[in-house]
Structure formats: C-alpha cells, structure tokens
Amino acid sequence: MQRYIKIAMVLMVGLFGLYGAFLNIMGAQFEIVEISKVVTGTGTQGVQEWQKIESPVLVWLSWSVIPLCKFVAGVLCMMGVKNMWQFRKADNDRFQQAKRLAITGCGLLLAMLFGVFILVTETWFQQWQTEFGSGILMTAHRYLLSVGILMIYIQMEGE
C-alpha cells in the first residue's frame, strides 16, 4: 500500500509543477511586472543600487526560471510516476531505483523554491519588508515544507 501512496504523492507533486508552470505562463504579463518590482527592490530599505536588476531582458530571465523549473520538475515527477508504477511489484532495490526521477523532480522544485524565493526574493531583495513579498514568501515556505516532507517520505525505503 505504501508504494501506491508514494506514487500518488509523486503524481500530485508532478501535477503541481505542471499546473504551476501553466499558470505562470498564462499570467506572465502580470507576473513579469511583479518580478520587476521585486528585483528593483521596490518598497524595501537596504537594497543597494548595485543589487537592483532593471534590464527588461534580465527581468524576463529572472521570471522565466520559475515556470521552467516547475515544468521540468513536473515532467521529471511524471516520468518518476511511470517508472514507479512499472516497478510497483518489483523488489525493494528496483523500486528504489524507479524513484530516482521523482526524487530529482522534487529536489529541483525545492531548489527553485529556496533559491528564487528564500535566497533571492527574501534575502537579496529584502522583500520580507513588503506586503507583496511577505505574501509570496509565506506561500513559498508552505510549498517548500510540503514538497520537502513528501520528498523525504517518497525517498524512504520499505513497503
């Protein structure tokens, strides 16, 4: 039964990544404006001029990391679901190997969430000082915690 639960959890993370990427792309025009506010340090104190990103190309590249990572993580998780399903009745070693892509997908999502939202948004651009920033940071923390716990559970050996 544990294997089926793990497969279902990877499926949910994969759907989260793919749907999140889709929403990011559909809302790109609005999100790029918001990212621009973040990377220019709008509404914060302590962000120096040399820290700010004002080039439209760099703002777009900054935004593009989010849907790209979500999409790739979602695809890796879905490939992991396929592999885990294929080896759901196999011995423990084979099932553990089948989880590699799923764990990689979860790890990529965690790296993006931590890197973009904690390291860059919260620390570099000091967005914890703004209403917008504190809202997205609370959400990012919730996603980090959820995906992190699921990744640990999925990675665990045993039935």
- Non-local (6+) Cβ contacts of 137 within 8 A are 117, 118, 121, 122, 127, 128
Q: Which residue has the higher pLDDT, 26 or 159?
A: 26
Instruction: Please check the confidence at residue 37 and state whether its pLDDT lies above 80.
Output: yes
Instruction: Please check the confidence at residue 159 and state whether its pLDDT lies above 70.
Output: no
Per-residue pLDDT tens over the stretch 86-139: 999 999 999 999 999 999 999 999 999 999 999 998 889 888 888 888 888 999
Rounded-to-5 percentages of helix, strand, coil across the chain: 80, 0, 20
The pLDDT of residue 72 is 98
Rounded to 5 degrees, φ, ψ at 90 are -80, 175
The pLDDT of residue 107 is 98
Categorize the per-residue pLDDT at 17 as very low, low, confident or very high, splitting at 50, 70 and 90: very high
The pLDDT of residue 71 is 98
The pLDDT of residue 13 is 98
Nearest CA-CA partner of 148 in 109, 102, 95, 98: 109
Kindly report the pTM of this predicted structure: 0.91
